[in-house]
Amino acid sequence: MNLLEVNNGNWVRVLGVAGGIEMERRLAQLGFLPGNKVRIIRSAPFHGPLLLDVEGREIVLGRGVAIKVIVEYLS
Amino acid sequence: MRFALIGQPNCGKSTLFNQVAGYRAETGNFAGTTVTFTETKVRVLGDVVELVDLPGTYTLLATNPAERVVLDYLIEKPVDAIINVVDATHLVQGLTLTLELMELGRPIVLVINMMDEAKRQGLKLDGEALSQLLGIPVMPMIATRGQGIREAFAQTWHMARKSTIPTPPAYRDEIEQAILALKSEIDKTEFPVSRRAIGIKLLEGDPTLTDQVGRKVPAIKNLVQTQWDSLCHQSSVQAVWLIASERQKLARELTEKVTTQEKMRLTLRDRLDDYLLHPFWGYVFLLAILALFFYGVYGFGSWLEAPLLNFFNNLDATVLNALHSNGLLAQVISGAIQGISGGLAIVLPYLLPFLIGLGFLEDIGYLTRIAFLMDSLMHRIGLHGKAIVPFILGYGCNVPAIMSTRIMEDKRDRFLSAALSTMIPCAARLAVIFGLVAFYVGPWAALGIYLYNIFVIALTGKIITHFLPEDSPGLILEMPVYRLPTLKTVTAKAWFRIREFIFEAWPVLIIGSIVLAVMNFYSVTDYINTALQPFNWLLGLPKQVGTPLVFGIFRKELSMIMLAQAFGTTNYAAVMTTQQMIVFTVFVVFYIPCFATMISIRNELGSKAMWAITGLTVLVATLAALLVRVVFLIV
Ligand SMILES: Nc1nc2c(ncn2[C@@H]2O[C@H](COP(=O)(O)OP(=O)(O)OP(=O)(O)O)[C@@H](O)[C@H]2O)c(=O)[nH]1
Ligand SMILES: [Mg+2]
C-alpha cells in the first residue's frame, strides 16, 4: 500500500520508498525511514499535495512523491 | 579562526548571524531562506573570528544545490569550530544532523534555539544531561531576542582554542566494518575533515565526493560497491537508510533521556491551518490576503505619489525658468531632478509598503501554505509547489528569486522556474505598473496587468513543458509553524531591501536621467529611436520610448523614469494615450530581465540558459504587448 491509499487522519508505518536511490535519499532526510510513523493531516483539493505529520514534523508531499512511499496500517 | 553556522532549515541560523553581523543574511519563516553562504568578521574574546552563515541542510546528503553548498564548504575550507543550531521543538531531527556533524572531526558546540517556542509547547529540556551524553557543550538560545548568543560564542571560542574534537557516534558492527574497510584507501586523500566522515559519505553514495576521491584513488568505486553489497546482504536495506536509521535511533534515545513533555494547550495558532488550508476557505483567504496586499500597496503609494510628483514638477519648472535657457546645463539639472523625483515620488511610495507586506507574509510562514494550496495548479504549467517560492520572491526582486531555485532538486525544474520567474514583475516593475498605469489609468488596469502577467507566464510554462516534459515526481517541503513576526526583523528586512534601492538603484536612475539629457541635447537619442522605430510602430508606441527601453535593461525603473526626460514632462497623460501606457507597461513587464538578473541566471544555470531566457522574454514581451494592442484595436 502507498500513502495515497491512506485516508486522512490515519496513522501508518513506513516500510520503504520506491523510485530509486535519489528519492530514497531525499525522503530519508525528512524522516521517511523504515518503521517511522506517519499521519495524513489533510490533503489539498484538485489532486493537490498531502500534509503529513512525520515524527512530529509537518511535511508536504506532492502526489507523485506520496505514491512512492510504501506504508502499512498500524495494528 | 573560522566558525560555521550549520543546522537544519528554518532553525534560526541567519537570525543568529544577523544578531552579531547586523542584518546581512535574509531570514524568513520557510525552509530554504538562505541558499548561499555569507561571511562576516566578529570579535570574540579579543580575537577576530570569521563567521559564516550557511544554507539549512537536513543531513549532509546534499540532495539539492543549496545543501551542496554546505558540504562543499566543509570539505574545502578549514573550519575551526562548528556552531550547530538545532530547533528545540524538533530535537530528534536536529540531533540526527548533530550526530552526523560530530563525525567530521571538528570542534562543535550545540546551540538549542527557539527555547521560547519549546516553553510555549510545554517542552522541558535538560541541556546539562544532553551535554554529558554527547560530550559537547550545549547552549540554550532565543536568537530573535538575542538571548544566549554571547555565551554560545564564548563557548565556541574555547572549543576552537583547545581544538576539542568530539567522539563520533558508534554505529552497529556491519557499518563500522564497512567504514574500516575503506579507511586505508581514504588515508591517501587530503580533506579538512576526518577520514571517518569521508568514509561514511562514500558509503552514503555522495556523488561529488566519490568523484573527488576517485580521482586520487580509482579503486574506491569498486570498493564502496563491495561494501554496499555486503551491507545490503546483511540487513536488506540500502547503506544510506541503514546509517540514517542508526542516527535516528541514537537521536531518539538521546531526546527521550533529556526531554519531558507537559500537557499543552491548543491555541488559535495551532488551529489556524484548519481555516487557511481549508479546501474551500483556504482559497478564499488566499485571494483576500492578496487583494488586501494589492490595495494596501496602491493606497499607500498613490497617496504619496501625487503630492510628491507635483512638488518635483514645480521645482523642475522653476529651475528651468530661473536658468532662462535650454542650454546643456539646464537640461542636465532638469535630468537630475527627474531622476531624483523618479526614485522618491514614483518608486519608494510603492516599494515601502510592498516590502513590509512581503516580509510579513514570509515571516508569518504563509509562503509554504501558498505552495501547498497552489501545487496542483503549478503542475498545469509543468512545475510544482516549490516553484512558488521563486515566484513570490520574484515580486520583490528577480535576483533572489533566481538564486532560490537552488532549493529545487531537478535541473529542469530549476531552469523552468528561473525562466518563468524572470517574467514576474519585480518591485522595479511594480513602480512602473503602479506609477504609470494605476496612477494615470486606474487601479483596475494595474490589477489587470498583474492578472494578465500570470496568465502569460502560465501559458509560456505550458508551452515550454510541451518541449521539456515534467519528469520530477513533485513537491517535497517542510511546513513551518506559524510565527508572529517581530517588529525588529520585519523592519530590518524591509530596510535591508530598501537600502539596496536607495544606494544602488537610485544613483543609477539619476545618472541615467542625466545621461539621457545629454544624449537628447546632442540628438544621439534620435539614432537609437530611429533604429527601434519599426518595433515601436509594431506596438503603436511613440518614437521617444526607444531609448528608455534600451536603458531599462540596466534597471527596469529607468524605462519609465527616463520617459520624463524623453518627453520633457512628468505628466505622462499629456503625451501617451491609455492604450500606449498599457502596451508599454506590458512590454516592460516581460522584456529582457535586468542586467543583474541576467548575471545571476548565468551564475546559477550557465550562459546558454541566460541567452535562452533573455531571447524568450523578448519574444514573450512582444507577443504579449501585441496581443494587448490588438485587443484595444478590436474593442
Ligand atoms: N520564536 C522564535 N523564532 C525564531 C527564533 N530564532 C529564529 N526564529 C524565527 O525562525 C524563522 C527562521 O529563521 P532563519 O534565521 O531564517 O532560519 P535559518 O536557519 O537561517 O533558515 P534557512 O536559511 O532556511 O536554513 C524566522 O521567522 C525567525 O524569525 C527564536 O529563538 N524564537
Ligand atoms: Mg538562513
Convert the pLDDT of each residue in B25-48 to its tens digit: 889 999 888 888 999 999 998 889
CA–CA distance, B342 with B340 (Å, rounded to integer) = 5
Q: In sequence order, what are the residues at sequence separation of 6 or more whose Cβ sits closer than 8 angstroms to the Cβ of residue B480?
A: B10, B29, B30, B31, B365, B368
Enumerate the residues of chain A whose CB falls inside 8 A of the CB of residue B373.
44, 48
Give, in degrees to the nearest 5, the angle at Cα B570 between B568 and B574.
85
pLDDT of residue B452: 95
ipTM (interface predicted TM): 0.95
Does any domain span residue B268? Answer: no
Does any domain span residue B477? Answer: yes
Does any domain span residue B285? Answer: yes
Ordered DSSP codes for B565-612: HHHT-S-HHHHS-HHHHHHHHHHHHHSS--HHHHHHHHHHH-HHHHHH
Comparing CA positions, the residue from B106, B8, B19, B112 lying closest to residue B58 is B8
Mean pLDDT within A22-48: 89
Q: In sequence order, what are the residues at sequence separation of 6 or more whose Cβ sits closer than 8 angstroms to the Cβ of residue B213?
A: B185, B186, B189, B198, B202, B220
Q: Read off the pLDDT band of A37 (50, 70, 90).
A: very high
pLDDT of residue B508: 85
* Chain centre distance of CA B472: 21
pLDDT of residue B115: 95
Q: In sequence order, what are the residues at sequence separation of 6 or more whose Cβ sits closer than 8 angstroms to the Cβ of residue B568?
A: none
Question: B199 in ligand 1 pocket by Cβ < 6 Å?
Answer: no
Q: Are residues B473 and B615 in the same domain?
A: yes
Q: In chain B, which residues have pLDDT < 50? A: none
Does any domain span residue B275? Answer: no
pLDDT of residue B111: 97
pLDDT of residue B460: 94
Strands of the A11-17 sheet, one edge to the other: A69-73, A11-17, A37-43, A50-54, A57-61, B476-478
For the domain covering A3-73, report its CATH number. Answer: 2.30.30.90
| Helix, coil or strand: residue B186 | helix
Report pLDDT digits (tens) over A6-17: 988 899 999 988
Candidates B144, B367, B403, B477: which one to mutate for ligand 1, based on the most atoms within 8 Å of Cβ?
A: B144
pLDDT of residue B323: 80
Domain with residue B252: its CATH number is 1.10.287.1770
B618: containing domain? 281-634
Per the CB < 8 Å rule, is B475 touching A22?
no
What's the domain count of chain B?
3
Question: Which residues, chain by chain, have CB under 5 Å from ion ligand 2?
Answer: B 13-14, 33-34
Ligand 1 centroid vs B515 CA: distance in angstroms?
44
Comparing CA positions, the residue from B341, B365, B343, B362 lying closest to residue B352 is B343
Cell of B46: 579579543
Last residue of a domain, one of B261, B293, B315: B261
Q: Are residues B154 and B184 in the same domain?
A: no
Q: Are residues B516 and B437 in the same domain?
A: yes
Domain with residue B93: its CATH number is 3.40.50.300
Comparing CA positions, the residue from B340, B394, B388 lying closest to residue B367 is B388
Give, in degrees to the nearest 5, the angle at Cα B444 between B442 and B449.
105
pLDDT of residue B555: 82
* Contact predicate B19/B12, CB 8 Å: no
Q: Are residues B469 and B404 in the same domain?
A: yes
Per the CB < 8 Å rule, is B385 touching A55?
no
Q: Are residues B523 and B608 in the same domain?
A: yes
* Contact predicate B395/B427, CB 8 Å: yes
B contact set with A (CB within 8 A)? 58-59, 61, 63, 90, 92-93, 204-205, 237-238, 240-241, 244-245, 248, 273, 277, 279-280, 282, 368, 371-373, 375-377, 379, 384-385, 409, 472-479, 481
CA–CA distance, B422 with B424 (Å, rounded to integer) = 5
Q: Are residues B205 and B285 in the same domain?
A: no
